[in-house]
Copies of this chain bind each other. A is one copy, B any other.
Amino acid sequence: MATVASIINRCNRVAFGMRKYSVRAVSLVYSEYGEPIKVIQPTEQQLESPAPNQVLLKMLASPVNPADINTVQGIYPEKPRLPAVGGKEGVGEILEVGQNVKNLSPGDRVVHLTTEPGTWRTHGIFGENELFKIPKELGLAEAATFTVNPCTAYRMIKDFRTLKPGDTLIQNGANSACGQNVIQLCKVWGINSVNIVRNRPDIDKLKEYLTELGATCVLTEEEIRSTDIFKTEKFKRPLLALNCVGGKSALEILRHLGLRGAMVTYGGMSRDPVTVPTSAFIFKDISTHGYWMTRWSKENAESAARTEMFEDIIQLMLSKNIHAPAHEFVKFDQYKNALMNTLSIQGFAGKKYILDFE
């Protein structure tokens, strides 16, 4: 595969007083579901000027999320019509806008909003309403991973229970990309976060990393079983538990919830279902829920809540309260490494691979 620079044939034209591009874009396309490195083919496409409500976007960076891999595999509930371009989030710079585009201009930096995939490409034509303008000062990794993990963490903390400063949240898989955002948001909002991770050889290093991010407390799956942190009233009993593991781990965090606590499941890394004792439902009034960012985004595409959330998160990123989770940029022509490694994550924290189109 040619590098991005070599295949773009940029033709500057002057027409109606606007710069016009004719761009040869490269997209990561799949025409059948299967293992990403087998079914995905880099494919060239000639892009012309955008239609009246569209813009021509040069992508800067786009992460490879686990859900993106599952989508290509065909095991995700949302199956895009084939052939499809992979990737659902990313940041780009606008090259050209259609004549009816009101709120975006060439040079603006935007993130991709829609739940339809298609961000693993050097350039693309997008509708104005598929994009959200962000400040250029935002870090590239933060911008590229803006719409999924921080938003998932934000909504899960806000939408199921009203947590006040001094309240407690417990989560498993705390080193996941979403978990790292949860830790940082809890710190900003004054919520104590009790963070559960699997034991591992470099556990002290992981505990140190998460503590520096803002974790109030980091415990292994074994340590949480025998902890007395809630009995000694060091922390209030959690009102909210976030679960991305399932099985025994989910039961363990649920067991510590206080009266009327809620557990929100957003992943199932152990592949075991969630088990809840009958007594927890009846006598502790625990409820259990699920969260899926894709559905929330679809249902709130036009909502003030979404704009408010975006603005909140952008401010927290600009003020360095929220950093992108552990990540590594991968040059676009090395995309296969990113695809292969996303579901077999090495290292102490969930490392996110971000395709770099520059």
The interface of chain A, by Cβ under 8 A from chain B, is 77, 246, 265-268, 273-292, 295
Contacts and interface: CB of A to CB of B under 8 A. Distances in A.
Contact of A265 (B246, B278, B291, B292): B278
A139 to B, nearest CB: 29
A299 to B, nearest CB: 10
A78 to B, nearest CB: 9
Contacts of A291: 281-282
A257 to B, nearest CB: 12
Contact of A274 (B266, B278, B285): B278
B268 A278 contact: yes
Copies per complex of this chain: 2
B273 A278 contact: yes
B278 A267 contact: yes
A77 B287 contact: no
Contacts of A290: 278, 280-287
B287 A292 contact: no
A273 B277 contact: yes
B288 A265 contact: no
Contact of A275 (B266, B273, B280, B285): B273
Contacts of A274: 275-278, 281
A318 B273 CA distance: 46
B281 A265 contact: yes
Nearest to A160: B287
Contacts of A287: 287-290
A90 to B, nearest CB: 23
Nearest to A286: B290
22 contacts: A265-B281, A266-B282, A267-B278, A267-B282, A273-B278, A274-B275, A274-B277, A274-B281, A276-B276, A276-B288, A278-B290, A280-B290, A281-B288, A283-B290, A283-B292, A285-B289, A285-B292, A286-B290, A287-B287, A287-B288, A287-B289, A287-B290
